[in-house]
Amino acid sequence: MPFIIAIDGPAASGKGTIARALAAELGFHHLDTGLLYRATGAKGGDPVAAARGLTAADLARDDLRSAAAGQAASRIAAIPEVRAALVAFQHCFAAQDPGAVLDGRDIGTVIYPGAEVKLYVTASDAVRAARRAAELGADPDQMLAELRERDLRDSQRDVAPLRPAEDAVVLDTSTLSIEEAVARALAEVRRVRAG
């Protein structure tokens, strides 16, 4: 049975960076589940049909990291039929040996509540906005407003709201370097695997 690591948290918290580092260190597969929603939103048209027809090529688009794609992802992620269509994709992906690291917003609460390791990665709004602004070459104040709007929408949606799983380890990266954040996450994985 594959070992599954669920990493959730808001945008620009560092969850993707941590997830990629863990997957590389452990030899696991990695899936940024937000790309599924970004790709579905970027395809346009009927979002349910787009989700059902999602392909690996759709995930390789070079425009999926834009702020517009993130906003589109947040809007369509609230549609239950879209979520249902993408859950099967995530389950198939995570079934690969020796294990998988999935990062998103509802991995530990909805997609894999039985994941062996659950991390909820967060950071202050100001730190997240500064990170995203630097990544996109955008205005930090605009990024702050967009992140807060998205966080509100994601945390208040009826279907799979953004929140930590009850048994998740919360990792606040506001004052941590990438190396420190990865080291703490890896220590938690090793603690569970040794257990």
Residues in binding site for ATP: 9-17
CA distance 101 to 26: 10
CA distance 174 to 125: 9
Q: Indicate the annotated binding residues.
A: 9-17
What angle do the packed helices 125-136 and 140-156 form, to 10 degrees?
120
CA distance 90 to 7: 13
CA distance 122 to 151: 12
